[in-house]
Chains A and B, each alone.
Chain A
C-alpha cells in the first residue's frame, strides 16, 4: 500500500452508504401503503366534490366542517403529499443524472410537499373553526 492509499477511514466506513442500507424497502412499502389508502380516500373525495358542485362559500364550508369530512380530507391531504413526494423522488432519481442537481431537486420536492400539505391542513383548520 502506497502512502497515497493510506486513510484514517476504515474499509467499512468507506463502503457504508454505497450499497443497500436495507432502507429502500421502507420507501417502496410506504408508496404502496399510501397508494392503497388513496384508493378509497381519492374516490370518496372526488365523489364528494361532484356531489357538492356549485355550492356557495357558506354551503361548501358547512360540508367540509362536518367531523367525518374534515377527518377524511385531512387524511387525504397527508396521504396524497406523502405519496406524491415518494413518487416524484423516484422520477427525479431516474432522470436527473447530475448528482448535485438530483439532490437539490429531491430536497425542493420534499420541502414543497411539506409546505403545501401544511398550507392545506391550516386552511382546513381555519374552515373548521369557522374563519
Chain B
C-alpha cells in the first residue's frame, strides 16, 4: 500500500505487555523456533540412517551441555505451542472468548507447559539412570 502521508496508529511498543498479547506473540515465536528445531530431528534421523559412527557423533552433540540446553528450549517451545495450539483450536470452535476465560486458559497454558516440560526432563533423567 502506498500511503506515506497517513498518520500511523500507536504500535506495539506503546502498549504495556499483557498476558494475552505476550502469549499471542509467544505462539509465533515458538512456532518459528520449532520450525528451526526440525533440523535437529532431520539430522538425528540421517545420522541414524548413516550408521553407528555418525549416530555416536550425533549422540555426543545432543548429549553435550549445549545440546541439552537446545533440547530443553525445544521441549519448552514444543509443549507451549502444543498447549496454546489447543487453546487456539477451542477458540476456532467458538468457545472461551470471554475475558475471564481468555485469562484462565492463558494461565492454564503456562502451567501445563511448565508441568509437561519438567515431567519430561525428570522422566528423561530417570530413564538415563540419574536417580539410581
Q: Cα distance A54–B127 when bound, in Å?
A: 8
Shortest C-beta distance, A82 to chain B (Å), equals: 11
Give chain B residues whose Cβ lies under 8 Å from the Cβ of A51: 127
A-B contact pairs, 6 of them (CB 8 A): A39-B86, A84-B31, A119-B45, A120-B41, A123-B45, A123-B46
Contact-residue bracket for chain B: 20 to 34
**Chain B interfacial positions (CB closer than 8 Å to A):** 28, 31-32, 34-35, 38-39, 41-42, 45-46, 48-49, 51-52, 55-56, 75, 78, 82, 85-86, 88-89, 92, 120, 123-124, 127-128
**The stretch of A5-13, A14-22, A56-64 that contacts the partner chain:** A56-64
Contact-residue bracket for chain A: 20 to 34
Give chain B residues whose Cβ lies under 8 Å from the Cβ of A69: none
Cβ contact within 8 Å between A32 and B89: yes
**Chain A interfacial positions (CB closer than 8 Å to B):** 32, 35-36, 38-39, 42-43, 46, 50-51, 53-54, 56-58, 60-61, 64, 77, 80-81, 84, 87-88, 91, 116, 119-120, 122-124, 126-127, 131
Knowing that A50-B123, A84-B34, A120-B41 are A-B contacts, what are 19 other residue pairs whose CB atoms are under 8 Å apart, sorted by A's residue number?
A: A35-B85, A39-B86, A53-B124, A53-B127, A56-B52, A57-B52, A58-B52, A64-B48, A80-B41, A88-B31, A116-B42, A119-B42, A119-B45, A120-B45, A122-B49, A124-B45, A124-B49, A126-B49, A127-B48
